[in-house]
Amino acid sequence: MTDLYPLGLRVRGRLVVVVGGGPVAARRVRGLLAAGARVRLVAPAVVDSLAGPVADGAVEHVARGYAPGDLDGAWLVHTATGDPAVDRAVATAAEEARTFCVVAADATAATAWVPATAGLAGDGEVQLSVHAARDPRRAVRLRDAVAASLDAGELPVRRVRTADDGGSRTGRVALVGGGPGDPGLITGRGRRLLASADVVVVDRLGPRSLLDTLADDVEVVDVGKTAGNHPVPQDRINELLVEHARAGRDVVRLKGGDPYLFGRGGEELAACRAAGVEVEVVPGVTSAVSVPAAVGIPVTHRGVAAGFSVLTAHEAVRDVPGGPDHTVVLLMGVTRLATTAAALVGAGRPADTPVAVVEDGFGPRQRATLGTLADIAARAAAAGVRPPAVTVVGDVVRLSPDWPPPHSDDDGAVSRP
């Protein structure tokens, strides 16, 4: 199509005439209304999907066949009557009026063509249009493939030139759960928001390898915390999100796991809302479930455990319900493992309750140290267990492919790729 000059048309408030009332015309009307056009529909009858817009006045319906003069004042014309003679008459009248015309049934008679289109999910700024030499099925396949890559964050979608908004634009904040650290376990929505971010405020346990995929001019703010070391306090993190958004930047707060599971996402959400900043929460794969699964331990299992509790070792574990058939998942609990195990036994759990400590789930150091409440602290110390680690307490640990643990003269640590 060497004679095709692709462009976008701003039709908001402008008259577009659609001739025909069938399914093709209905698709054209929906798109035109979404773009804000004034639509005149010329057809003796219309399909059911057009009855609503006609009834509520969104579409001007001329309830008869096409007649000369119907195109007066039109900026664009679509004809899809199913009658070649009528379509040719409409196209001829549009040509005489120097108005571009889309002819659904005969692309060779048209002076304009509708491409296969898609919008970037959740983003009205990016629209994709594909022409394929008047081969609509080919165009649709290409559109779908590119749209999937856009939505997956695999293509550069970040704004480079901002719209002319007088400098008044306020950016947005997305609290994105990055999962347990493997870059393949972030959600598609989270991945796309990351690809479009101007600023990324990242935790230590987020999928940090994804930072290497960002453009050089994306600002990365590292607020990672380790045990006993919080270089950027939470109040300051909240302020950073608001400050960057008010400066017109789109911000991703990239967290490990899920923002709402001991991730302080609720506090960040509240701070953004209080400041009038638009904020979105993107759930993530939580390490509380995924890390045990990485070493073959389900947190629930029919006939073994019907429920589980997730808490940190900083919490009072004595109040956790149930016995070995109610799984306890402990986050951030390596340094207090002995104290926590003793508290669980003191609360009535048997000392021989199975325990697994899983380090660096989905990471290069991934390994599981197995034992019981009676000996897990000693085994973990002997193995040199260090954070990040997730501890699982309960009979589900017996489902691990490495259960039972080695004899007590061994540390019980099992490494797996």
Query: Which CATH number covers residue 215?
Result: 3.40.1010.10
In this structure, the answer to whether residues 295 and 207 fall within a common structural domain is no
- Predicted local confidence at residue 314, as pLDDT: 61
Instruction: Flag whether pLDDT at 84 surpasses 70.
Output: yes
Instruction: Flag whether pLDDT at 416 surpasses 60.
Output: no
- Predicted local confidence at residue 237, as pLDDT: 94
What DSSP assignment string belongs to 170-193? --EEEEEE-BTS-GGGS-HHHHHH
In this structure, the answer to whether residues 95 and 192 fall within a common structural domain is no
* Count of C-beta atoms within a 10 Å radius of residue 327: 26
In this structure, the answer to whether residues 294 and 401 fall within a common structural domain is yes
Domain contains 94: yes
Using 50, 70 and 90 to split pLDDT, how confident is the model at 227? low
Report which DSSP code applies to 107.
G
In this structure, the answer to whether residues 253 and 305 fall within a common structural domain is no
In this structure, the answer to whether residues 39 and 102 fall within a common structural domain is yes
Measured CA to CA, the distance from residue 343 to residue 228 in angstroms comes to: 22
**331 burial level (CB within 10 Å; 0-12, 13-18, 19+):** buried
Using 50, 70 and 90 to split pLDDT, how confident is the model at 42? very high
Query: In whole angstroms, how far apart are CA 345 and each of 57, 281, 317, 324, 337?
Result: 71, 38, 10, 11, 12
Domain contains 27: yes
Measured CA to CA, the distance from residue 288 to residue 284 in angstroms comes to: 11
In this structure, the answer to whether residues 199 and 259 fall within a common structural domain is yes
Residue the block writes with tokens 């230590």? 204
Domain contains 404: yes
Q: Report percent pLDDT > 90 for the chain.
A: 63
Instruction: Flag whether pLDDT at 312 surpasses 90.
Output: no
Select from 259, 285, 311 the last residue of a domain.
Answer: 285
* The total number of residues written for the chain in this structure: 417
- Predicted local confidence at residue 77, as pLDDT: 97
Domain contains 145: yes
Domain contains 3: yes
Query: Which CATH number covers residue 60?
Result: 3.40.50.720
Range of the domain at 127: 116-151
In this structure, the answer to whether residues 210 and 247 fall within a common structural domain is yes
Answer whether 394's CB lies under 8 Å from 350's CB.
no
Using 50, 70 and 90 to split pLDDT, how confident is the model at 214? confident
Query: Domain total for the chain?
Result: 4
In this structure, the answer to whether residues 233 and 320 fall within a common structural domain is no
In this structure, the answer to whether residues 259 and 322 fall within a common structural domain is no
Domain contains 167: no
Select from 231, 251, 285 the last residue of a domain.
Answer: 285
Select from 269, 285, 301 the last residue of a domain.
Answer: 285
What tokens does 197 get? Answer: 């971010």
- Predicted local confidence at residue 313, as pLDDT: 66
Domain contains 183: yes
Rg (CA), the chain: 30
Answer whether 196's CB lies under 8 Å from 280's CB.
no
* Count of C-beta atoms within a 10 Å radius of residue 77: 28
In this structure, the answer to whether residues 123 and 110 fall within a common structural domain is no
In this structure, the answer to whether residues 309 and 335 fall within a common structural domain is yes
In this structure, the answer to whether residues 398 and 292 fall within a common structural domain is yes
Answer whether 330's CB lies under 8 Å from 356's CB.
no
Mean of pLDDT over the chain: 88
Instruction: Flag whether pLDDT at 190 surpasses 80.
Output: yes
What tokens does 124 get? Answer: 């009205």
- Predicted local confidence at residue 122, as pLDDT: 58
The residue-averaged pLDDT of 362-372 equals 93
Domain contains 162: no
Report which DSSP code applies to 226.
B
Query: Phi/psi class of residue 36: alpha, beta or left (left: φ > 0; alpha: ψ in -120 to 50)?
Result: left
Using 50, 70 and 90 to split pLDDT, how confident is the model at 133? confident
Residues acting as catalytic residues:
203, 225
